[in-house]
Chains A and B, each alone.
Chain A
Amino acid sequence: MTRQSILDLYFMDARSKLIDIAAFLDRVDRGEGEPDFRLAAFRKALEELQHNEPVRAKSVLLSLSDPTTEPIPKAPGKGAIGAWPGPETH
């Protein structure tokens, strides 16, 4: 597809999601209390969008991922929360 065709198909959708992210960050700023590690992880992942190679989705996913390689001793629960809290939780 041409870049123009891609813009024609996806620009409005991407624009909408971009504004949603901006509004989410505004909402967090207006909130009270201390945020947990997810906010810092989110902001760090946003930096991946600034790169010029077409691997941004992969980079964002890796930024939010557990980079360790060894199985953990015990499950802290069943669910996942979307960002890696760091080694201290293991």
Chain B
Amino acid sequence: MRYIEPHGHMVSRTTDDYEAMIIAGCRAVCEPAFWAGYDRSGPEGFYDYFCQLTDYEPKRAAKFGLPHFTWLCINPKESEDTTLAAEVISLIPKFLDRPNVLGIGEIGLNKNTRNELKVLEQHIDLAARHDQLILVHTPHLEDKFKGTRLILDALLADSRIKPDRCIIDHVEEHTIQMVLDAGFWAGITLYPESKTTPARAVDMFEVYGGQRVWLNSACDWGRSDPLAVPKTAIEMRRRGHSEETIDKLVFQNPIRFLGQNPRFTVR
């Protein structure tokens, strides 16, 4: 088996995780910027984090022979402070030329507030001005349905944004249809409790098709599983899906989306 982990917060994972992913067939890992589990005290904290994502973490991954790519933003959980957000967004352009940067992400909404929406629109503008791919985080649990609708409206309102260059992540059964119907890519996130299980992810693949869909573990510092993608591939095998179909979903599809940025290459 070979697969791409298109969404993993590796700064919060161990070297054992890197080793397990390589053994399972991982060929590349992509790390969106996210919330640290606590609010950073100022823009300097984000500057250091962006350095970690574009310099130190790719070196750590390289020790295991794993190419590491990243996305930059201020996460929606810290977007309520619009002054801080503006300062952080102003830092991002100087990092966009780093060789492992794929785009702007994971932007989006958390509690669906006016300030979060304002900061989302600023990120969308940043991506459009710099012709960047976009990776979107959709809210958790009871906030996901409303947040996904607000996010799609914000993206579609900007005529510079091409839906096939945006992935809307963490879709579930109540949001995947609207994402695909609007022409965006959909990311299915595999978590032990929230988001989706491997069985539900395969259900969605069977019902909605796999043309513009990827799977990811979004492994971070919380309860999550860095091997969730290969475990879901095993779930597909149990149901009788062919190796070719599995390879398309867990390896070729991420390459089709991420390869829109020529920096993304996989051996």
Contacts and interface: CB of A to CB of B under 8 A. Distances in A.
A12 interface: no
Q: Is the interface of B mostly helix, strand, loop or mixed?
A: helix
A80 B113 contact: no
A65 B172 CA distance: 12
B141 A64 contact: yes
B181 to A, nearest CB: 14
B220 to A, nearest CB: 14
Most B CB within 10 A of own CB, among A9, A72, A77: A72
B70 to A, nearest CB: 23
25 contacts: A1-B239, A61-B144, A61-B172, A62-B145, A64-B141, A64-B142, A65-B142, A65-B143, A66-B112, A66-B142, A66-B145, A66-B146, A67-B145, A67-B146, A69-B149, A71-B112, A72-B112, A74-B80, A74-B113, A74-B115, A78-B77, A79-B140, A80-B140, A82-B142, A83-B142
Contacts of B262: none
B111 A78 contact: yes
A57 interface: yes
Interface residues of A, number: 29
Contacts, number: 80
A81 B193 CA distance: 12
Contacts of A82: 141-142
Nearest to A65: B145
B27 interface: no
A58 B174 contact: yes
Nearest to B238: A9
Given A61-B173, A64-B141, A65-B174, A76 B111 contact: yes
Interface string B62-82: 000000000000000100100
A68 B239 CA distance: 38
Given A73-B113, A80-B140, 15 more contacts: A55-B173, A57-B203, A61-B145, A61-B172, A65-B143, A69-B149, A71-B112, A72-B111, A74-B113, A75-B80, A75-B116, A78-B35, A79-B140, A80-B111, A81-B142
Contacts of B142: 64-66, 80-84
Name the interface size band of chain B: 20 to 34
B203 to A, nearest CB: 7
A13 B238 CA distance: 14
B20 interface: no
B112 A58 contact: no
5 nearest A-B pairs in the assembled complex, by CB-CB distance: A80-B141, A65-B145, A80-B140, A75-B111, A61-B174
B200 interface: yes
Nearest to B176: A58
B100 interface: no
Contacts of A55: 173
A55 B174 CA distance: 9
A68 B158 CA distance: 23
B114 interface: yes
Most A CB within 10 A of own CB, among B35, B142, B145, B200: B142
A83 B35 CA distance: 23
Contacts of A61: 144-145, 172-174
Nearest to A79: B140
Interface in A1-29: 1, 9-10, 13
Contact of B139 (A58, A62, A80): A80
